Structure 1
Amino acid sequence: MGGNAPKGFLTDQCASMKRALEACMPTTVHRWCIWHIMKKIPSKLNGYKGHADIEQEMSQVIWNSHSKDSFDRNWNDFLLNFGLADNKWLSVYVWVYYADLYEHRHIWVPIYLDHHFWAGMRSTQRSESMHSFFNKYITQNSSFIQFVKQYDNCLRSREQAERESDAADFHTVIPCATKSSIEAQFQDAYTHAKFREVQAQLRGYSVYEVGEQVSSSIFNKFVVTYDSVAAKVKCQCLLFESRGILCRHALSVLSFEQVSQVSPRYILERWSKKVKRRHTHIKSSHDEPLMEPRSKRFDQLVFRSQNICEFASESEELTAILHRAYDNVIAEMESLKAKRKGTSSLSHENANLESVNELQSTPRIRTRGRPKNRLGSKLDKQITNATKKKKTRVLSEVKVMFFKFVAIEFIFLVNSLANV
C-alpha cells in the first residue's frame, strides 16, 4: 500500500474487525457487506405475517432512498406501517440493545456511502469469487511445495486471461447502441467490459424527462446539477462518485444541453483500454528464477522512460527529438540482436542453475488442539479388535455353511442322475 491506509474496507458484520479498523485505520471508510445483511432478512422476519411484503418494502427503502433524510423518513414509515417499531433488529430506538441495523446505517446503507469511490463493490462476494478461482488450483490438503507451484500457475492463468482481454479490446469493436457522440467517445476509450456498463446507462437515459422542475409526483425525481462553464455534471444518485460511470440521469441532461463530448474528468484512466498494467510483466520466482533480473531491468526502464516522456511532451520540438532517438535506439538494438542470433537473448547474470535450491515441503508437525482423530484408549482398541474377530468368525461360518449347502446340492444332483 506504499505506507498508506486503504481508502475503503469491506467486511461482514464483525464487531471485532470494526473496532480494529477504527483503531488502526481511522481515515479508512469501513463498509459492511450489504449482501450478508439482505441475506439475513428472511430468517429475521420469517415469523411475521406477510413477511414477503415486509422484505420487499425494506428493499425499496434501502435501494430507492436518494438522500439521508429520505432514508430516515422512509425507514420510520416502514416500521410504523408494518408494526416493527419494537423489532430488536430493525428498531430506530437506541435504548434497544440490539438496535443494530439502524444505528450503524452509516456503514451499510448505500446513500450514506456512495459519495465515496468503491469501483462498484458493495459486497464481499468479489473476494469469495476469488476464493473459488484459487480453489481450482489449491486444496486444503495441498503441501507447501504444491501451493507455491500452483500459485504460480494461478498467476500465469490470470495474466493470460488479461492478455486475451486486452487483445479483444484493441482488435474488436462493440457497436454503439445509439447515435450519441458521447457513446462513441467512451467506445474509443474504455475496455469492452466497462463500455458495456456505460451502454446500459445510455440505453436508459431516453426514458427520462429533463426540466427545471417535474410537476407530477408519480415520477422519481433525480436532481442533476450541470455547470456548462466548468463542464461539470453531478447527479443525486451518486453513480459516478461511487462507481466511476456517468448515470443515465446525467447523460439525459448532457443530451438535453446538446453536449457532444464529456469532460476528460469523467473518463477514468483505470477503465481505459490503453492502460499498461505493470503486474503483467512480473514473472514466477519459482518456475523461472532467471527472469527476476529482467523484471528489475524492465521496472528501471519504465521509470526512466516515463520521466523522459513527460519532459518531451512539453513541446513538439522535444517530442520530435525523442522520436528520432527512439528510431536510432531501436535500429541499434535490432542490429545487436541480429549479431547474437542463435544465442539466448536473456542475460543470465552469471547465474548457475545448479546453485538454485530446490524448494522442499516443510516437515509435518503436530498442531495445537485436539487432533481430528482421537487417540483410542486401551479399552477402545480391545473392543475394536474383538469386533473385527467376531466379524471374521461370522464370515467364516457363513462360508462353511455355503460350501456345505453346495456339497449337499451336488450329492443330490449326482444321486438323481444315477437313478435316471
Structure 2
Amino acid sequence: MYATREQWVPVYMRNTFFGQLSGNGGGLNSFFDGFVTASTTMQMIVKQYEKALASWNEEELKADHETTNTTPSLKTPSPMERQAANLYTKRIFMKFQEELVETLANPATKVDDSGDVVRYRVAKFGEDHRGHTVSFCSFENKATCSCQMFEFSGIICRHVLAVFRAKNVLTLPSHYILKRWTRDARTGGAILEEECGSEIPNGTPESSTSKYNNLRQEAIKYVEEGAKSIHVYKVAMNALQEAAKKISAVNSGLPSGTPSTNGSGQDLLPAIGESESASQSVVSFSYYRTLAIEVHCYF
C-alpha cells in the first residue's frame, strides 16, 4: 500500500482535481448523515437514499435561492472581489473572499527573476518556514503555487492572489474561473468574456446572466407557492405544463397555441393522477420543484 500511496492518499494527489471545498471531505458520510446508521438494513438503505437525495435537492434549492436573492458583503475595495461576487455562488465566493483577505497577511517576496517566469516566496508574517513558492508567467498571466490548492479544489489560493496583487493583476483571468463554481453553472453557455475582465456585468436585461437569474427567481417563488397544498400543487403543475408547451413551441417555431409533446404522445410533464393521495403528492413535490426550475431556466 505504501508503494502505491500516490494513487490513494489525498496529500499525494494535490495535482488532481477533486472539487473538494473543505479539509475534512465528507463524501458519502456527509450525504447519508442522519439517514443511515450501523443498524440500517440494505432494504432500508434504498428508501433512506431517496430521502437523502430529496434532502440534498432541498438544500441545493435553498442555496440557489440565497445566491440569487442576496448580495454578498465586500470586505475590500478590490475590483477582483467585486468581480468574484458577481460570478461565484455565495459559498464559493466566501471561500474566495477568505483567501483574498488573507493576502494582507501573506506578502509576496520575489526570489528569482530569470526569463519569462518569475518566482515568489509567499508566507504569513512570522511563519516563513511554512511559506509556498509561486511561479508567475506574465506573458500568459498564469501562476502556479506549490500548495496546489487550485489544481485540487478549483479555488485560487491566497499565495497566487498575493502575487497577483504584487503584479497589479486587478481581476481574475478567465482560466481561473471554473464554470462549476459560478452562478451560471446550470446553463449551457460559456462564461461571458466581459465577466472575466475588468468590466463587471451591470445586470442589464440583455445580459444572459441577468435573464437567467430573473427566470430562476420567479421559478423559485412559483414552486414555493405550489407546495402549500394539494389543490394549489395541481393548479401549479397544470400551469407549468402549459408554460412548458408554449416555450417548446416558440423554440420550435410553431404557433404558441400548438400542442407540444415529447414525441411519444405524452405531455412534457406528467399530470397528477386523481387516485394519488395528497401526502404522496406533497412528498413528490421535492422532485417536481427541482424539475420546475430546470424547465423554466433551461429555455
TM-score normalised to structure 2 length? 0.54
8 Å contact kept, 2:136–2:143: yes
In the alignment, the residues of structure 2 paired with residue 110 and residue 243 of structure 1 have an alpha-carbon distance, to the nearest angstrom, of 12
Letter in structure 1 aligned against 2:27: R
1:259-306 Cα deviation digits (max 9, x unpaired): 11111111111111222289xxxxxxxxxxxx9xx99xx8xxx9x9xx
Q: CA deviation at 1:110?
A: 5.0
Equivalent position of 1:130 in the other structure: 31
Equivalent position of 2:69 in the other structure: 171
Equivalent position of 2:19 in the other structure: 119
8 Å contact kept, 1:235–1:249: yes
1:154-188 Cα deviation digits (max 9, x unpaired): 43332222112111101101211111111111111
In the alignment, the residues of structure 2 paired with residue 124 and residue 192 of structure 1 have an alpha-carbon distance, to the nearest angstrom, of 19
In the alignment, the residues of structure 2 paired with residue 336 and residue 127 of structure 1 have an alpha-carbon distance, to the nearest angstrom, of 43
Q: Is 1:219 aligned with 2:120?
A: no
Change (3 A) 1:207 1:141: closer
Q: CA deviation at 1:122?
A: 6.7
Name the SS of the counterpart of 1:211 in structure 2.
Answer: strand
Structure 2 unaligned residues grouped into runs of 5+: 112-120, 189-236, 261-266, 276-299
8 Å contact kept, 1:205–1:249: yes
In the alignment, the residues of structure 1 paired with residue 142 and residue 25 of structure 2 have an alpha-carbon distance, to the nearest angstrom, of 32
Letter in structure 1 aligned against 2:61: R
Q: Which among 86, 103, 115 is matched to residue 188 of structure 1?
A: 86
In the alignment, the residues of structure 2 paired with residue 348 and residue 110 of structure 1 have an alpha-carbon distance, to the nearest angstrom, of 45
Q: Which among 131, 134, 149 is matched to residue 239 of structure 1?
A: 149
Name the SS of the counterpart of 1:135 in structure 2.
Answer: coil
Name the SS of the counterpart of 1:212 in structure 2.
Answer: strand
Q: CA deviation at 1:105?
A: 4.1
Change (3 A) 1:193 1:347: closer
Q: Which among 162, 171, 176 is matched to residue 60 of structure 2?
A: 162
Q: CA deviation at 1:112?
A: 2.5
In the alignment, the residues of structure 2 paired with residue 200 and residue 218 of structure 1 have an alpha-carbon distance, to the nearest angstrom, of 19
Change (3 A) 1:108 1:152: closer
Change (3 A) 1:142 1:245: closer
Equivalent position of 1:201 in the other structure: 99
Quick one: higher RCO (CA 8 Å, sep 6+), 1 or 2? Answer: 2
8 Å contact kept, 1:222–1:236: yes
Q: CA deviation at 1:203?
A: 1.5
In the alignment, the residues of structure 1 paired with residue 68 and residue 138 of structure 2 have an alpha-carbon distance, to the nearest angstrom, of 33
Q: CA deviation at 1:236?
A: 1.4
Letter in structure 2 aligned against 1:332: S
RMSD: 4.7
8 Å contact kept, 1:231–1:262: no
Equivalent position of 2:196 in the other structure: none
8 Å contact kept, 1:224–1:234: yes
In the alignment, the residues of structure 2 paired with residue 257 and residue 186 of structure 1 have an alpha-carbon distance, to the nearest angstrom, of 19
Change (3 A) 1:332 1:125: closer
Report how many residues are paired: 205
Name the SS of the counterpart of 2:185 in structure 1.
Answer: coil
Name the SS of the counterpart of 1:224 in structure 2.
Answer: strand
TM-score normalised to structure 1 length? 0.40
Equivalent position of 2:167 in the other structure: 257
1:198-251 Cα deviation digits (max 9, x unpaired): 11111111122223226x996134221222221211111111011111111100
8 Å contact kept, 1:115–1:241: yes
Q: Which among 247, 256, 268 is matched to residue 332 of structure 1?
A: 256
Change (3 A) 1:128 1:230: same
1:305-339 Cα deviation digits (max 9, x unpaired): xxxxxxxxxxxxxxxxxxxx66x87x825x989xx
Q: CA deviation at 1:151?
A: 4.4
Equivalent position of 2:182 in the other structure: 272
1:8-407 equivalences under 5 Å are 101=2, 103-107=3-7, 111-120=11-20, 125-135=26-36, 140=40, 147-148=46-47, 151-213=49-111, 219-220=128-129, 221-276=131-186, 332=256
Change (3 A) 1:255 1:269: same
In the alignment, the residues of structure 2 paired with residue 169 and residue 236 of structure 1 have an alpha-carbon distance, to the nearest angstrom, of 32
Name the SS of the counterpart of 2:143 in structure 1.
Answer: strand
